Amino acid sequence: MSTSKLPNYTFEEKYWSLHGRALAHPARIKILKLLSEYPNITATDLRKEINLSQSATSNHLRCLIDAKLISEIYTPHKYLLQINKEIFGHFQTFMKSLV
């Protein structure tokens, strides 16, 4: 396929593709499950729960944060992690529209 015939994707198609990639790893799904179970957990405590290295945990968290599926809230001396419920609400609506 030549580069001059790249498909035109809508903003919405690109937006949900980003979320799909963020959800495409079992460790990230586990992170989301733990965040729903333990809101306001720190990355250090999360890392201990999922039993991954600091760098692997950091990479997975960065992917979820970049997709805005989770957010970091700074409190003195630590960052707390939370699920972005607004984005997940939009995601649920989008998934229902596909069936």
Q: Give residue 75's domain range.
A: 11-88
- The total domain count for the chain is 1
At 4 the pLDDT is: 58
- State the DSSP string of 56-98: HHHHHHHHHHHTTSEEEEEETTEEEEEE-HHHHHHHHHHHHHT
Give pTM, 2 decimals.
0.82
Q: Does residue 2 fall inside a structural domain? A: no
Q: What six digits make up the tokens of 22?
A: 């963020």
Please state, in angstroms and rounded to a whole number, the distance separating the CA atoms of residues 66 and 21: 11
Q: Does residue 97 fall inside a structural domain? A: no
Q: Does residue 48 fall inside a structural domain? A: yes
For the segment 36-85, what is each residue's pLDDT rounded down to a tens digit?
999 889 999 999 999 999 999 999 999 999 999 999 999 888 889 999 99
CATH code for position 70 = 1.10.10.10
Cβ proximity of 46 and 81 under 8 Å: yes
Q: Does residue 15 fall inside a structural domain? A: yes
Q: Does residue 20 fall inside a structural domain? A: yes
Q: Does residue 95 fall inside a structural domain? A: no
Instruction: Read off the amino acid at residue 74.
Output: Y
